Amino acid sequence: MTRQRLSLRLVVLAACVAAGGLSACNDSPPENADLVAGKKAFAQKCSSCHVLERAGAKGTKGPNLDEAFRQALSDGLGRGMVRGAVHSQISHPAAVDAKSPAYMPPDLVEGKLAEDVAAYVASAVALPGKDEGLLAVAVPAAGAGKPIAAKGGKLAIPADPNGQLAYLTKTATADAGKLAVESKNESSVPHDIALEGGGVSAKGKTVQGGGVSEISVNVKAGKYTFFCTVSGHREGGMEGTLTVK
C-alpha cells in the first residue's frame, strides 16, 4: 500500500470512529442529500485538483479519489465511511504525508453543500460506468462544446465556467494573419491561455473570477495547440487544437 493510500485510510478510519464506529460508516446516503448539487459543486471546487472518473474530473494536484478509497471499499468499510472521510477533509484538510502538506483551504464548500459534495463523492468513487439520469447531465462534459471560429481576427475560447480543467471547446479555427486570442475565466480556479506551434509561442496572464487572458500573434496556415500553463492543468486535459487556413 502506498504512503498516500495508507494516510488516507487512517483519515477514513478516524472519520468512522468520529461517526460512532465502523458500523455507522456502512449507511446509505442521507435522504436529504442532493447528489446533483454535490456533483456541480465538486466540478466547480474540486475537479481541478482531483481525479474522479464518474465526475469527469482529471485534476493532477490532489489525490486520485478513485484509487484512494478503492481498497477501503474492497475491505468492506462501506460508502458511508467515504462520505464521512470526505466531509472531514473538506472541513479540516489534512496532509497526505510529510512530503504532501495540505493545500486545500478549509471549508472550500460549507454547510449543507459540503454534505452534498461528500455524499456525491461517496456515491461515485471507485464505481465503474457513468452517472445516469439527472447526474449524467448535471455538469456539461469538459471541452465538449462546438468548434469556435475566429471573427474579424479575434478568437474567443472561454475556460470552462464550472472550474473543470478544460476550455469550452477543444477545436478552433482562424484565418492566417494577425490574431487576438482571448479566454474569459468565470470560475474561481485560475487559468490562462497560451499558444504554440508554427514558430509561435505566446502566453496570456493568469486570471479567475471573470478575468480575461489575452495574447496577440501572427499565425500562418497550419496546426497550433492552445493550452493552460497553470501547473497540472494541461496535463489534466486543458488544451485544444487551432487550425489556421
pLDDT (tens digit per residue) in 65-104: 999 999 989 988 889 999 999 999 898 887 655 555 556 7
**Phi/psi-derived region of residue 59, left when phi > 0, alpha when psi is between -120 and 50, beta in every other case:** beta
Residue 155 has pLDDT above 60, yes or no: yes
In whole angstroms, what is the distance from residue 129 CA to residue 126 CA? 10
- Domains plus CATH for the chain? 3-137 (1.10.760.10), 148-244 (2.60.40.420)
Report pLDDT for 169.
Answer: 95
In whole angstroms, what is the distance from residue 168 CA to residue 105 CA? 27
| pTM metric for this prediction | 0.74
Q: Residues of the chain with pLDDT > 70: what percent?
A: 85
Strand, coil or helix: what is 241? strand
Report pLDDT for 21.
Answer: 45
